Amino acid sequence: MKEEIIIAGFGGQGVLSMGKILAYSAIMQDLEVTWMPSYGPEMRGGTANVCVIVSDRKISSPIITRYDTAIILNQQSLDKFEGSIKAGGLLVYDPSGITRVPERKDITVCSIDAIDVAAEIGNAKVYNMAVLGAYLKMRPALKMENVVRGLEKSIPSRYADMIQKNREAIEKGMERVKILSEIR
């Protein structure tokens, strides 16, 4: 099993921490991971993206250009990465910032209204976890118990209440994900 994922959006949307929680959850399941951010001037306010690789074998190159899954949170990122998804792959996106819908027909496309989930929970910070939930529903390789352990490892213990809220957002994200087109 090897899953190569790109997560991309604006700085501040929780792109890097979503990747980190995903990576930690995989470690809790005894898998190998790499988490490689794009770093540089764009860290300050512009687009942010992180490439996460999860595998049951040792991972060689952390640098990849084709992805099994793209998790997309803004239009610029959709434009940049839609073409890089492998045929038969998965695209999860938040439609709120999207003006041009995905066009690929050879991949599974689904959307998640993550802002609504965050509003219901009453904390904007859990937005990225709703997106993560949508992804985990579509690619159920990671067990929920390991995701919770990943959350516990990533969130400082003084924010213990946030672990519960994040878990709630993940679960709601799993429920709310909309499959727009599916490749089987």
Partner 1 sequence: MTEKILMKGNEAIAISAIRNGVDGYFGYPITPQSEVMETLMKEKPWETTGMVVLQAESELSSINMVYGGACCGKKVMTSSSSPGISLMSEGISYLAGAELPCVIVDVMRGGPGLGTIQPSQSDYSQCVKGGGHGDYHCIVIAPASPQDMYDFVDWGFELAFKYRNPVIILADGIIGQLMEKVELHPSKPRRTDAEILAAAPWATVGKPAGKERNIITSLSLDAGTQEAFNRKLLAKFREIEANEVKYAGYLTEDAEYLLVAFGCASRICEAAVDMLREEGIMAGLLRPITLYPFPEKEISRLASRVRSMMSIELNLGQMVEDVRLAVNGKCPVGFYGRQGGNVFTPEEIMEEFKKFNNLK
**Which of the ranges 36-44, 88-96, 135-143, 163-171 carries the binding residues for partner 1, by CB under 8 A?**
36-44
Q: What is the 3-state secondary structure (H, E, C) of 3-68?
A: EEEEEEEECCCCHHHHHHHHHHHHHHCCCEEEEEECCCHHHCCCEEEEEEEEECCCCCCCCCCCEE
Tell me whether residue 33 or residue 118 sits nearer to partner 1 (CB atom): 33
Please give the residues from 132 up to 161 whose contact with partner 1 meets the rule CB under 8 A: 153-154
What character string, x for contact with partner 1 (CB under 8 A) and - otherwise, covers 61-80? xxxxx---------------
Which position among 7, 33, 54, 147 is part of the footprint of partner 1 (CB under 8 A)? 33
Cα–Cα nearest to 134, from 181, 172, 180, 168:
172
Q: Are 51 and 16 in contact (CB under 8 A)?
A: no
**Which of the ranges 6-14, 20-28, 68-76, 135-143 carries the binding residues for partner 1, by CB under 8 A?**
20-28
Which position among 34, 55, 75, 76 is part of the footprint of partner 1 (CB under 8 A)? 34
Tell me if 163 contacts partner 1 by CB under 8 A.
Answer: no
**Which of the ranges 38-46, 76-84, 98-106, 113-121 carries the binding residues for partner 1, by CB under 8 A?**
38-46
CA dist., res. 48 & res. 10, Å (int): 5
Cα–Cα nearest to 85, from 181, 176, 10:
181
CA dist., res. 172 & res. 12, Å (int): 21
> At its nearest, how many Å lie between partner 1 and the CB of residue 169?
21
Binding site for partner 1 (CB under 8 A): 20, 23-24, 27, 32-37, 39-41, 59-65, 153-154
